[in-house]
Amino acid sequence: MSDKPLTPEEVTKAADKFFPLYEVVHSRMPEGSTTEDALKVMENVCKLAHKLRLDKETDAFGFLNNKDNEE
């Protein structure tokens, strides 16, 4: 990682990616939840999303292999 300070453009790009994801989680949180609560939940939801993506990619790869073996 670089020790150079981030530019406003880099922070804007990161925020453009982060806040829509945060809003998905925050909008589903119970009334009275704090920002910290939403961030903790978001961390777990994102871990699950990565796992689901990996599972989907693995399933697709396995399916392609099975199709090739049948022919």
Would you list the domain boundaries of the chain? 34-71
* Cα–Cα distance for residue pair 45/25, rounded to 1 Å: 8
Reported confidence tier of residue 2, pLDDT bands at 50, 70, 90: confident
Q: Quick one: pLDDT at residue 59?
A: 79
| Per-residue pLDDT reduced to its tens digit, 25-44 | 999 999 999 999 999 999 99
Q: Quick one: pLDDT at residue 1?
A: 76
Mean pLDDT of 46-62: 88
- Dihedral (C-alpha) 9, 13, 16, 22: value to the nearest 10 degrees? -110
Fill in the amino acid letter for 49: A
Please give the model's pTM, rounded to 2 decimal places: 0.72
